[in-house]
Amino acid sequence: MISALAQLPLPATLAAFVVAAIGVWLAGTRLAVFADAIAARKRIGQAFMGLIFVAAATSLPELVTTLYGAYVGQAQLVLGNMFGGITMQTAILALVDLLIVSYALTSYPSGPTSALEATLLIALLAMLLGLHSVGELALPFGVGLGTVLLGLAYVGIVAMLRHYDGVQSWIPVESVDAALPRKVQEENGGSATDGMSTAGLVIGFALMGLAILLCGLVLIASSAAIAEQTGLGSSFIGMTLLATATSLPEVSTTISAVRIGAYSMAISNIFGSNLLMVAMVLPADIVYGGAPILGAIDQGTAFAIISGILVTSVYLAGLIIRSRRTVLRMGVDSALVLLIYAITVAVFYHFSGAS
* 79-89 exposure pattern, b = at least 16 Cβ within 10 A, e = fewer: bbbbbbbbbbb
Residue 167 CB neighbours (<10 A)? 6
Residue 4 CB neighbours (<10 A)? 9
Beta strands in 234-303 (DSSP E): none
Domains plus CATH for the chain? Answer: 2-352 (1.20.1420.30)
Residues with Cβ < 8 Å from 269, sequence gap 6 or more? 50, 51, 54, 55, 58, 250, 253, 254, 257
Distances (CA, A) of 304 to 324, 341, 347: 29, 10, 9
Contact of 48 with 207, CB cutoff 8 Å: no
What is the share, in percent, of the chain residues with pLDDT greater than 90? 26
What region does 170 belong to: left with phi over 0, alpha with psi -120 to 50, or beta? beta
How much is the pTM? 0.83
Contact of 99 with 322, CB cutoff 8 Å: no
Q: What is the pLDDT of residues 234-257, one digit of tens each?
A: 445 445 666 677 778 888 899 988
Question: Which of the 8 DSSP states describes residue 30?
Answer: H
What is the three-class DSSP state of 156? Answer: helix
pLDDT reading at 147 higher than 50? yes
Q: What is the band of 187 on the pLDDT scale with cuts at 50, 70, 90?
A: very low
